[in-house]
Amino acid sequence: MFDTRPDREAEVVLVGRSNVGKSTLMREVTGHSFDTGGSPGVTREPNHYDWAPEDFVLTDLPGFGFMSGVHEDRREEIKTNIVRYLEEYAENVLVAILVVDGKSAVDIIDRHSGPDEIPYDVEMFHFLRELGVPTVVAVNKMDKVDDRDERLDELCDRLGLYPPWKQWQEVIAPITAKSGRIEPLNEAVREHLHEHQRDDLFKFF
């Protein structure tokens, strides 16, 4: 079980499948380097970065979904641990940031949508909302996306949000973490922090 969590009241978590750029985004927000691997599944345990004076922790949870070279049992175990972690700390989580790859997210979702199958990203989005955790979808790697509005509308549609995406700016945040273009995410996160009366955390976002 993930038992390394610092004893902090408030938390923001990053979730998402492997290789979507969560650790890069974490580095961008904290200014602190974490292991980002060229191969999926580098983050197997949560990475916590905490600010004691603000009683706040930012957590990068391990990637879920397919990881080359990682046995399916281990993948399922990681996913179960993520779900348990989120259930356990749901009341502490001010915002969850679900990171997806802007270029491939819709295709991956469509590939895994069948009568008996809910794609991980969609499942995670609804699971977080069921837990009552405000969720922002950080649509990363947008520098590689040509038909930007169309892609974001399609993603909204798959998540059960009525397009156009622009009416969901507190939920859908197009970013490019690698080059530090994350302002839409910061704005969306701040909206939710403000609702929790935690404007003191704005300086991190």
Q: What is the rounded distance in angstroms from the CA atom of residue 62 to the CA atom of residue 197?
A: 28
On whether residue 103 sits in a domain, the answer given is yes
Q: For residue 96, what is the DSSP state? A: E
Inter-residue contact 43 to 4 (CB < 8 Å)? no
Strands (E), 2-114: 10-15, 47-51, 56-60, 93-101
- Report the side by side order of strands in the sheet with 56-60: 47-51, 56-60, 10-15, 93-101, 135-140, 172-174
Q: If phi over 0 gives left and psi between -120 and 50 gives alpha, with beta otherwise, what is residue 165? A: alpha
| The pLDDT of residue 19 | 85
- Please report whether residue 95 resides in a domain: yes
The phi, psi pair for 93, rounded to 5°, reads: -80, 115
Q: What is the pLDDT of residue 85?
A: 95
**Does residue 205 lie in a domain region?**
no
3 found inside a domain: no
Main-chain dihedrals φ then ψ at residue 2, nearest 5 degrees: -80, 100
Domains: count for the chain:
1
pLDDT, residue 74, reads 84
pLDDT of residue 70: 77
Is residue 29 situated within a structural domain? yes
* Separation of alpha carbons 36 and 42, rounded Å: 7
What string of pLDDT tens digits covers the 205 residues of the chain?
A: 567 789 999 999 999 998 899 989 998 988 877 655 555 555 577 889 988 888 999 999 988 876 677 788 888 888 899 999 999 999 999 999 999 999 999 998 998 877 777 788 999 999 999 999 999 999 999 999 999 999 999 999 999 999 999 999 999 999 999 999 999 999 999 999 999 999 999 999 9
Q: For Cα atoms 57, 77, 175, give the angle at the middle one, nearest 5 degrees.
A: 45
Cα distance between residue 133 and residue 90, in whole Å: 6
Q: What is the pLDDT of residue 36?
A: 52
4 occurs within a structural domain: no
pLDDT at residue 76, as a whole number: 85
In this structure, which long-range contacts are made by residues 151-160, counting pairs with CB atoms below 8 Å and at least 24 apart in sequence? 151/102, 151/103, 151/106, 152/102, 154/106, 155/100, 155/102, 155/105, 155/106, 155/109, 158/105, 158/106, 158/109, 158/110, 158/113, 158/119, 158/122, 159/121, 159/122, 159/125, 160/122, 160/126
Instruction: Report the C-alpha gap between 26 and 106 in whole angstroms.
Output: 23
Q: What is the pLDDT of residue 2?
A: 66
Q: Is residue 119 part of a domain?
A: yes
Tell whether 44 is covered by a domain: yes
Q: What is the CATH number of the domain that holds 55?
A: 3.40.50.300
Q: Whole-prediction pTM value?
A: 0.93
Question: What residue numbers bound the domain in which 70 lies?
Answer: 10-197
